[in-house]
Amino acid sequence: SLEGRLDGVLQSIDLKARTLKIAQWTDSNPSVLSWNDQTRFWENKVPIKPSLVQTGLWARIEYRHVPTGCEATRVFLETHWTRH
């Protein structure tokens, strides 16, 4: 499919290169995704700017496949994760 979802821990965010690095429990190699002005970020269900994103939080990332790789469309961060 052209869209997907990743669950893991946000390892890093690069505000200049506009990339996110996610560590997943199913994979030893972190996943790197791009993001852009259309990407929306939330922390504990509150909308935040990319510059306020904290690393080390639980993350659920919705993304789409683009020619350059995977581009995050929505990034949900939680300071305390409850599995649903």
pLDDT in tens, 14-60: 999 999 999 987 777 889 999 999 999 999 999 999 999 999 999 99
pLDDT value, residue 29: 86
pLDDT value, residue 27: 73
pLDDT value, residue 81: 64
pLDDT value, residue 24: 86
Long-range interactions of 34-38: CB distance < 8 A, separation 24+: 34/66, 34/68, 34/69, 34/70, 34/71, 34/72, 35/71, 35/72, 35/75, 36/71, 38/73
